[in-house]
Structure 1
Amino acid sequence: MGKSLLEQLPGIVTEGKRKAAQILENLEGRNRVTLQTRELVIPNKDTLEADLFHQFRSDEVDKVAPNRLIYGDNLLAIAALLAGDAEYPSMRGKIDLIYIDPPFDSKADYRSKIVLPGVTLDQKPTVLEQFGYSDTWSEGTASYLAMITPRLVLMRELLADSGSIYVHLDWHVGHYVKIVMDELFGKEMFQNEVVWAYSGWNKKLRSSFEKRHDTIFYYSKTKDPYFNSYFEPWSSKEEYVKKRKQKVHLDEAGLEYVLSDSGGGGRVKTYLDDVMKQGVVIDDVWRIDKLNNSASESVGYATQKVERLLERIVTASSPEGGIVADFFCGSGTTAAVAEKMGRRWITSDIGKPSSMITRKRMIDQNAMPFLFQAIGDYQVEQARSVLGRKFKVGELAQVVLRLFGAVPLPPEVNQGGAFGRLANEKTLVIATSPNALVTGATLKRAQSARLSTMGGFDKVTVLGWNFADSIGHDIEALNDDKLEVLVIPPDLLDRLKKKGSVEKLVDDVRFSTLQYLQASVVGRTQDGESETVSVNLENYVLLSPDAINLDDNSRSQLLNIMNSEPLALLEYWAVDPDYDGQVFRSVWQDYRGNTGSDGDALRVVTKAQVVVPFKPTPRRICVRAVDVFGYESEVIIENVEAGA
């Protein structure tokens, strides 16, 4: 008989601490985790009445601690925040409040429905999300605790000395996490067990009481946390009087008051106007209804929390201008509330839908500019996890070649182990490194290798992890039918870790073609000191549908949309009218659900009118799009002349 959970718990905590310590040791080394800025979002959604000067706000980004939306594993995101980089310093000891709402139901269904014109697709989570989640529950609660422990250790490192953390759970795992937090933060740092009691009903009679509350554990980092006593107004004088069952009196001036017993046996006069001004002190049982799907704040996310819940936490445990973080972002409620309440924020999630919804939500509420970031060299980090910290790139290339069905070339012509060939075809196969970017120059070298390696091959296939943003146009410019470029599944290493061997994975891996966006600039029109840049979307080619986690029926419906109305597949697009090749600064955005311009919730607009300060010299314009599955693509349009 195996060990009970309580017997396993000491080992789980010890291993979690060891894992966190290893990450902390590597913060200064060359193997430290970094964040890659994918977009500087300067909210300015497309509307019929655009704000002329609204988009010129890039100088409002906090140079030390910018607001950030991070896509990727939160363990890596936290490590990167602790490490800092050349542009932004470490956030160690800088965060005032952390609220997390980690998944706590092992049977939760994380499928999402994608509604397209005339079609609803039932999408399962990406394989990356699936493995992240299945690892969490692979051995039940023990796996969950192994997941959360090192993250809690590192979150504590991020907290300021006056900082606090709120961990939102329910009966599935809450009591076990409480034990872990007592160990990591100290029992004396436990401040409150907040009960969130919400209404609900169930038509079926049960054999036990209905479960209608969650638990939120509130811990501080030190014995002197920031805390602002939280008051809420009484709804009326009548509510106050009724609750206390007191009689209302009038004084000589006609002011209402009630009498209460004092400790010395006398009577104390309390004026109702004073009571109304002060409000009622909130205790640790919060009776707040769950979010109604028809509420104005609803963004259609299954586990979305109501803003009123977060307003209490943010008000109580963070000062104005302080930094609030949430590493299980979900629908972005924490960031949305922090923004509205004058706090800075950092939020992250491993789910693409979460990142997409949160970005739209922050644009929709006209947030201050923020960074959209991803984990730099994510595949390298996973390779270290699967193959060991000292893995060699050639070893990984050999794995990729085998999964593609290629045979490695002889050592004397095999450049670093990256070259292979298809056994029954004269096709050269090149597996690139996860820390290399496939560019137009990479493809030209592949063309040369096809002709010069072992007397020449009929075709060459390049397998890539990461691609230059302009790769689609590089492929089009080369116009070489003997060159094929395919995407290595980004979750391949996660799947390999799960399966345990290449042989068990061979039949499941699909290498897909790249997605591709077409757009054009149709004019630059000057109007005094400003100008309007007009951009048209023309076409979008989705990557291979086989790479998307859909059932056969949904995949068939998707193919129909791809053929009949490809631009309907776009979820979001943005324009940078002065792209520097480094950071994409979006000063104009449109997305599905933004009905302020065309009233169509299922399609983006296909024409952008971007108002910017006039510039007499040519512009380098970048158009970036994200489809409904979260895949990105972009177009760079060079040397667009003024007055074009």
Structure 2
Amino acid sequence: IIWWYETGGIPKEDFSRKHDIIFRYSKSDEYVFRPKEVMEKRSNEVLRRIATGIPTATRSTGQYRHPSDVWKIPTINAMAKERLGYPTQKPEALLGKIIKASSDEGSVVLDPFCGCGTTIVIAERLKRKWIGIDITHLAISLMRHRLEDSFGDEVEYEVIGEPVDLKGAEELAKQDPYQFQWWALGLAGARPAESEKKKGADRGIDGYIYFHDEPKKGKTKAIVLQVKSGHVGTSQIRDLKAVVEREEAQIGVFITLKGPTRGMKEEALKTG
């Protein structure tokens, strides 16, 4: 299948890239294909010709035609509501067309490289069962938020492969501090800061939680979070206080594997 789009730059030494190729396979000759679920609307010019009664244009009088293997679907633009900033994020319309054409309600949809969760959100919306797999806890956190934003508490699912006790959390922190950080933010219901989606300089903010004092009313307020898996001390509480003031946040949250020292508690009390 050719996924055709019109966005993208103009390279100096090559043709402009305006398509991706989608491979479509089946393990057997018995597979699901539902073309009526993804019928394509005819162009206005074709509809006009059909309306005139010209013999060569009246083979089909419907407004829709059998789907072809060239799909014109826009990429996600910078201002799109569905855009999450994930580098490989695909449009919901593209995943929706694939799922509707290739499965029925109640079918199981598998995405072994689930990323930010577009596939599982569309599968849930179309009343399919689903399995999403990804190697990073950042992706798992994004999937949680996307499911919550789309369905609230109406969707039930199980996450397999995360730490379930302190020992597991300590082992994750030892193996990969960034994965521990993303996992901890997910537990707190926080969104990773944009600067933390890539390993790099720490601006003092690992994640955010946004809220309103009254639901859907008033100014959006922020809670900033820091996650530490190693040694902690009083200076880090002072640093967090400075970040809260700089960002004009309402609350600062410090997440750590180690219990707070007496000095850390006293510093937090001074902050108020």
Contact 1:259 1:269 in 2 (8 A): no
**Any gaps of 5 or more consecutive residues in structure 1?**
1-193, 250-257, 262-266, 378-436, 439-464, 469-485, 493-511, 518-536, 538-547, 562-568, 572-591, 606-626, 634-644
1:211 matches 2:17: yes
Match of 1:309 among 94, 99, 119: 94
Which residue is equivalent to 2:263? none
RMSD across aligned C-alpha pairs, in angstroms? 4.1
The DSSP-based 3-state class of the residue aligned with 1:334 is helix
Say whether residues 1:196 and 2:3 are aligned partners.
Answer: yes
Q: 1:327 to 1:602 in 2, by over 3 A?
A: farther
| Cα distance, 1:247–1:217 mapped onto 2, change above 3 Å | closer
Counterpart of 1:218, as a letter, is R
Aligned-pair CA distance for 1:325: 1.1
Q: CA deviation at 1:244?
A: 6.9
Deviates more, 1:596-605 or 1:341-350: 596-605
Deviations 1:466-525 (A, max 9, x none): 259xxxxxxxxxxxxxxxxx9862249xxxxxxxxxxxxxxxxxxx9xx999xxxxxxxx
Deviation at 1:317, TM superposition (A): 0.7
CA contact (8 A) 1:260 1:270 kept: no
**Residue 243 in 1 paired to residue 46 in 2?**
yes
The match for 1:368 is 155
Residue 313 of structure 1: how far off its partner (Å): 0.6
Q: Deviations over 1:434-476 (max 9, x none)?
A: xxx66xxxxxxxxxxxxxxxxxxxxxxxxxx5259xxxxxxxx
Q: What percentage of aligned pairs have identical amino acids?
A: 26
* Residues 215-264 of structure 1, C-alpha deviations (whole Å, 9 max, x = no match): 111011111101111433537xxx34x13772634xxxxxxxx3434xxx
Where 1:362 maps in the other structure, the secondary structure is helix
User: Quick one: distance in 2 between partners of 1:361 and 1:487?
Assistant: 24
Judging changes above 3 Å, is the alpha-carbon distance between structure 1 residues 335 and 593 closer, same or farther for their aligned structure 2 residues? farther
Equivalent-residue separation in structure 2 for 1:488 and 1:603 (angstroms): 23
Q: TM-score, normalised by structure 2?
A: 0.63
Residue 350 in 1 paired to residue 135 in 2? yes
1:359 aligns with one of 120, 144, 151: 144
Aligned 1:92-241 pairs, distance under 5 A: 194-204=1-11, 206-230=12-36, 231-232=38-39, 234=41, 239-240=43-44
How far did 1:280 drift? 2.0
Higher RCO, Cα 8 Å, sep 6+: 1
Q: Are the equivalent residues in 1 in contact too, given 2:163–2:172 (CA < 8 A)?
A: no
C-alpha distance in 2 between matches for 1:374 and 1:358: 14
> For residues 228-627 of structure 1, what are the structure 2 equivalents within 5 Å?
228-230=34-36, 231-232=38-39, 234=41, 239-240=43-44, 242-243=45-46, 246=49, 248-249=51-52, 258-261=53-56, 271=61, 275-276=62-63, 279-366=64-151, 367-374=154-161, 466-467=168-169, 489-491=174-176, 551=200, 554-555=201-202, 557-558=203-204, 569-571=206-208, 592=209, 599-600=219-220, 602-603=222-223
Separation in 2 of the partners of 1:317 and 1:246? 32
Write the distance in 2 (CA, Å) between the matches of 1:347 and 1:325: 6
Q: Within 1, Cα distance between the matches of 2:121 and 2:184? A: 32
CA pair 207-346 structure 1, distance change in 2 beyond 3 A: same
Larger gyration radius, structure 1 or structure 2:
1
Give the SS at the match of 2:83. Answer: coil
1:166-224 CA deviation, whole Å, 9 max, x = no partner?
xxxxxxxxxxxxxxxxxxxxxxxxxxxx11111124255x2321122111110111111
Structure 2: 5+ residue stretches without partners: 189-196, 226-251, 258-272
In structure 2, distance between residues paired with 1:268 and 1:197: 27
Q: Structure 1 residue 372: deviation in Å?
A: 2.1
- Number of residue pairs aligned between Structure 1 and Structure 2: 211
TM normalised by structure 1 equals 0.29
Aligned to 2:240: none
One-letter code of the match for 2:33?
Answer: F
Q: Which residue identity lines up with residue 368 of structure 1 in the other structure?
A: V
Contact 2:163–2:169 (Cα < 8 Å) also in 1: no
How far does the alpha carbon of each residue in 1:327-384 deviate from its partner, in whole angstroms, 9 at most, with x for none? 111111001111111111110111222111111000011151111221689xxxxxxx
